Structure 1
Amino acid sequence: LLRNVWEWKETFTAWYDYSPNVEVATHGFNRWLEQGEQIAHTAVKSALKTMRNWQDEILNYHHCRWTNATVEGRHNRIKAFQRRHYFLRNPDRYKAGILVECNLHRLSS
């Protein structure tokens, strides 16, 4: 069971990375859903339900191939900064720290 689920997950990763257009992606996604239905496990059934509910949004990636990963990454950095520096008294230092935290990649090059 574990091997089947792992192979099914790897199939999804390959589909996501290598589908050249929306038509091929749609066909591959439907085939991937059918493969998941063959696995008799409650967690897989739950994942299939979620994937079907978000099918349009998942397939939209194959229209233009961009995500909001950069925004999410910066959001996570800001949240981590807030946890580390919760009681900063100076608001200007706080804002400057967030700007530095979110632009570290620019400072290192």
Structure 2
Amino acid sequence: MNLPTLPPYLGHQPPRRRIVRDIAGLLLVSTGTVGLLGALYVTVPLAALALAGVILTVGGIGVLSIRPPLHPAIRLIGGFGALAVGSWIFVGIAVYLTPWTLLFGLLLALGVFLSGEEA
């Protein structure tokens, strides 16, 4: 029986150390993201909201596309919740700018969807 091989940098660390390192990395990434969004919001609020919408939308799509599928509660809250909040942020920004922005943004999204479909 062949045992799965790990890259050398992961294979030599005890499991607890890897978990602590991963949790510390996630904590630093989340803190940095929230801090940068806060700093950007102080200077340009619409840009910060747009960036938050992008992060939430991409994160929601990422959670939904993980294979094998995650637990249904995680998919519902993490995936669909983040996707819905990110989409509503985009709709709010578009309506704030002008309703025409929403119309042409929807046309753009529909065009990308239709041109990206495989026959």
Same fold (TM over 0.5): no
TM-score by length of 1: 0.30
Q: TM-score, normalised by structure 2?
A: 0.28
Using CA pairs under 8 Å that are at least 6 residues apart, name the structure with larger relative contact order, 1 or 2.
Answer: 1
